[in-house]
Amino acid sequence: MEKKNIDWSNLGFGYMKTDLRYVSNYKNGTWDEGTLTGEDTITISECAGVLQYAQTIFEGLKAYTTKDGHIVTFRPDLNAARMADSAKRLEMPVFPEERFVEAVVKTVEANAAYVPPFGSGASLYLRPYMFGSSPVIGVKPAEEYQFRVFATPVGPYFKGGAKPITIRVSDFDRAAPNGTGHIKAGLNYAMSLHAIVSAHEEGFDENMYLDSKTRTKVEETGGANFLFVTKDNKIVTPKSDSILPSITRRSLMHVAKEYLGLEVEEREVFFDEVKDFAECGLCGTAAVISPVGKIYDHGKEICFPSGMEQMGPITQKLRETLTGIQMGEIEAPEGWIKVIK
């Protein structure tokens, strides 16, 4: 198969239309058989549930080329399960988990020419999503839904090394107790836009959100989970019902314990303790881990000993090990790598 003529190493994180996407419609209580389509636009009712009441959920994962030349994805079964949880919380029908994985596989196969080569640092980003498509004016769930998966090639997250970022403690909240913080819903992002735009205007890369009830505990950023390293090399990640369970973070915790022999703890993390940690990183599919060098808290600064020039040694080791597993250079735990072709 001939690859597309794309300058892989200079791709950013943006949308590029690819050849085919997967679509399945839900009507009269059932999902249709689903198909690949070349049509990249969608026509729906002006009163569709997604447009009026934001009934939409999504996932994000990557397909990439391993060292031995296979095209694979990483733990797509966990994306399927998480999307099922998101659907239930927003009163949407679940797209069956096996079919979710199958739809991802079909979308990647159909766009194999857009999967970047091994070593480029780039990948094919996959965006499964679902939305209420039928008209809704009284507040209730839609009756019809559409599930889609599109693919878009994205560049290496860190061009020329991963420089630590500076984040601020936000005065805005991301998620309410007993709310929707634990699901991957567009609505959580709509309300984070003002906070991220104002963070950028003030010179910060990201927001650190605290728990909105007591404002004493670390939650996450707008789109990544925290991972901290203690001075005696223990890995600590916040536990909360309003955090989105990152697949990257869960994988890194496993890697820390089983591959690196480090102690791991998932527990409440009070903001007061943060100053005592040695390293801090943000976990998500896009970057795997981005190092945090500094946290700004209303005039006070927390500067991690790892500094602003490079990531801390444990963060680096975690990142290398997980990316090594993903790229087929280190043996993966059973079931982590889904080989597509």
Ligand X SMILES: *Cc1c(COP(=O)(O)O)cnc(C)c1O
CA–CA distance, 78 with 311 (Å, rounded to integer): 28
Shortest Å distance, C-beta 224 to ligand X: 5
Q: Which stretch binds ligand X (CB under 6 A): 211-219, 243-251, 270-278, 293-301?
A: 243-251
CB closer to ligand X out of 223 and 328: 223
Q: Determine which residue in the list 34, 223, 281, 328 makes contact with ligand X, applying CB under 6 A.
A: 223
Indicate which residue of 4, 62, 159, 184 is catalytic.
184
- 107 binding ligand X? (CB under 6 A): no
CA–CA distance, 107 with 18 (Å, rounded to integer): 10
CB closer to ligand X out of 26 and 75: 75
CB closer to ligand X out of 156 and 223: 223
CA–CA distance, 143 with 178 (Å, rounded to integer): 25
Q: Determine which residue in the list 21, 182, 184, 317 makes contact with ligand X, applying CB under 6 A.
A: 184
CA–CA distance, 4 with 306 (Å, rounded to integer): 40
At 189, phi and psi to the nearest 5? -85, -35
* 184 assigned to active site: yes
Shortest Å distance, C-beta 215 to ligand X: 18
- 220 binding ligand X? (CB under 6 A): yes
Q: Which amino acid is at 339?
A: V
Burial class (CB in 10 A: 0-12, 13-18, 19+), 193: exposed
Q: Which stretch binds ligand X (CB under 6 A): 85-93, 142-150, 217-225, 322-330?
A: 217-225
Reference 54, options 78, 104, 89; nearest CA is 89
CA–CA distance, 282 with 249 (Å, rounded to integer): 9
- 285 binding ligand X? (CB under 6 A): yes
CB closer to ligand X out of 133 and 188: 188
At 154, phi and psi to the nearest 5? -130, 150
Cβ atoms of 279 and 152 closer than 8 Å: no
- 314 binding ligand X? (CB under 6 A): no
- 284 binding ligand X? (CB under 6 A): yes
Q: Determine which residue in the list 25, 60, 109, 234 makes contact with ligand X, applying CB under 6 A.
A: 60
Q: Determine which residue in the list 65, 246, 306, 321 makes contact with ligand X, applying CB under 6 A.
A: 246
Shortest Å distance, C-beta 248 to ligand X: 3
Q: Determine which residue in the list 133, 237, 248, 315 makes contact with ligand X, applying CB under 6 A.
A: 248
Q: Which stretch binds ligand X (CB under 6 A): 111-119, 139-147, 246-254, 266-274?
A: 246-254
Cα dihedral 332, 285, 185, 28 sign? negative
Pairing state between β 165-169 and 288-297: parallel
Check residue 295 and give left, alpha or beta (phi > 0: left; psi -120 to 50: alpha). beta
CB closer to ligand X out of 4 and 254: 254
Cβ atoms of 284 and 225 closer than 8 Å: yes
CA–CA distance, 299 with 292 (Å, rounded to integer): 18
Shortest Å distance, C-beta 185 to ligand X: 9
Catalogue the active-site residues.
184
- Enumerate binding residues for ligand X (CB under 6 A): 60, 184, 220, 223-225, 244, 246-249, 283-285
